[in-house]
Structure 1
Amino acid sequence: MLAYSYLFFFVALISVGPIPKKVKLFLLFVILSFFAGTRLDIDNDYGLYEYNIQYIESSIKDFATRDSPMEWCMYIIPNFLKLFIQSKVEIINYTFLTFAFLGVGIKLIAINRLTPFFFLSIILYTANLYFMQEMTTIRAGVATGIFLWSIKDIEENRNKIFFVKLGCAFLFHYSSIVFVMTWLLHKFNVKYKWLILGLCLAMLVPILNLNFIEILHLNVISDKADAYMKIQEYEEKKLNLFNFKIIISLFYLIIFYWQRNKISVVGFDLLLKIHFLSLILFFLFSTTGLTFSLRTFELLSIIQVILYPLIILCFMSKLRIWGYLLVMGTSFIFFYYNIFIADFLKEYTSWLF
């Protein structure tokens, strides 16, 4: 696991270093993209991606009518690469690299535009969602990058641009439909009292053992939801409702809601409401299995890299060092858990060396 530690150290060093912002962004893009994009079989999803890329249909008609529907990015990217590359192994390798370029690149653009605390946002991203998305659920990684990129469009009521970006995200992950809910939060200016009520009711779902995929017939409407329901039958691990990531999320939620009047950053209100929504959906779908609940939560959790550092503004000027330490501590907890405790990444290997 030494390679992951070195990566985290170098990313932190570059982010905080006294070099121009454009140089930082370029270096971060190269390092993070190639590290994720050239890795071999080190995660649980790699084999399935490798198989799908290798045997993807060449005909649009065949792909559109396949028995198990798949996002269009899995057709477009490999078949585009086939125009220039003949080797199946190289097509697989460069498909992964393309996903990494898109996922990392779009996120860096969005982070640079949205955060007033660049260093903290970068280490939060690298410590957690980089490993969860760019190194594992690569399609979701691109979709969440596009969503983060669209936050300003929601805030500034650029509805057409938002829905164009949503359509692009949908090409990478059908679950991107959940991003419409964030637009609705802003469009109808949903009050915090309704979000608090929604969260309290959602927390009752696991107690009452309600299954909202079945109640809302999502397994009939969506093949993806139906697949998650079937996966639940074979899951050995049960969902820990109050795992450390949820506890951390609830901690930041309480602090931000309590201190919300102290934060005047444009977009904060929307970010906090999306944070509420991510927890509501986590508990709402908690009885449908580990995969569906956590992955729905993680899709929206990308906003944490912008939201969490804003906790610094909750402290008085003389005490803001504690805000920095809090966010850095959160990042290190995420990193330690993802690399040394969670069992989803193997020892790093790359086809570059």
Structure 2
Amino acid sequence: MRCSRRSLVFSRCRRNRRHHSVGDYSHAGLLAARQGFIIFCVIEDLKLPVGLDGRAVRHVAGDVRVRAHRHAELEVNLVVRGTATYLLGERRYALTPGTLTWLFPGQEHILVDQSADHELWWAVFRPQLVARIATAPHIQPLVQDDPVEPYSRHLSTAYTRRLQTLFSEVRAAEPRDRALANTGLAYLLMVAWRAFLDSNDVVDSEDVHPGIRTVVRVLQTDPNAGDLAELARSAGLSATHLSRLFKAQIGISLSRYRIQQRLHRFLLGYGNGERTTALTAALAAGFGSYAQFYRVFRHETGRTPSTLRPKQVLGLGPSTQNVAPQPVTIEPPWCQNSSAPTSSDDRRC
């Protein structure tokens, strides 16, 4: 494997601890060959503003987070509405309202299968802040890089409401008063950890088959990579077994996952429409024509692509804008019934 980054010279791969030199990617990544596919998992530069010890962000279904990623900052998530699934390393976690999850710097993670009403708060904390805070023995687990034990628990309603308020106050302070925001981040870190310790309701997780994780990474890297037979070979499974196991472990069908990745790629390429056309971005994302893209976009979001301009605010990872995003909710109607998109390309898997 090779680790590469434009702005960070060295990083570590969980399965290969050797250091490697800088490559030419806008986000750091790990490249690995697997059965003829190139797998890219992002080591994300969160681009935190200078002078801030972290960030607090409200995430809703449809916000763009394309690939499995990890970052140098400790992260905490609090689900407030809807459901989702986290792939965390080799484990799968089902997230429901009140779930608090800690994500450590050495842990690759990605949200998948978000319900249309899914909403969570997440915050990241610079390593320097965590080191200053985590001096007492009961807080020192926060300085770990990649703990083995699960760090996801259900909170009480009182703690959930209290933390929602803290997340909101920290976010509101960030653009106006960085000293106040940093004080709030330190307090949020400690209260969230205390809430975690006070809960005994551990979130159960399931092992994810290594072949399924391979396919997830392949499609995150290139939504158009391989047909079902090729993906099955890369996973070391039969095509039928892959389809069935993917739906069981990831929570959505393989074909729906591929479509979501194409739409995510379109959203990243198109942005707010100021730098390219919708046709160019759709073709680059892997759609066969604008008509096919338009039909899928309408099915998935209930909108037309024109709603992305000029107010749509999209980004990978934390937004640096002081504007609330207008998310595109990706929730296809055919996932609720037996009907499917009419294009053969849409049914590729």
Q: Normalising TM by the smaller chain, what interval?
A: under 0.3
Which has a greater percent of strand?
A: 2
Q: Which has the higher helix share?
A: 1
Using CA pairs under 8 Å that are at least 6 residues apart, name the structure with larger relative contact order, 1 or 2.
1
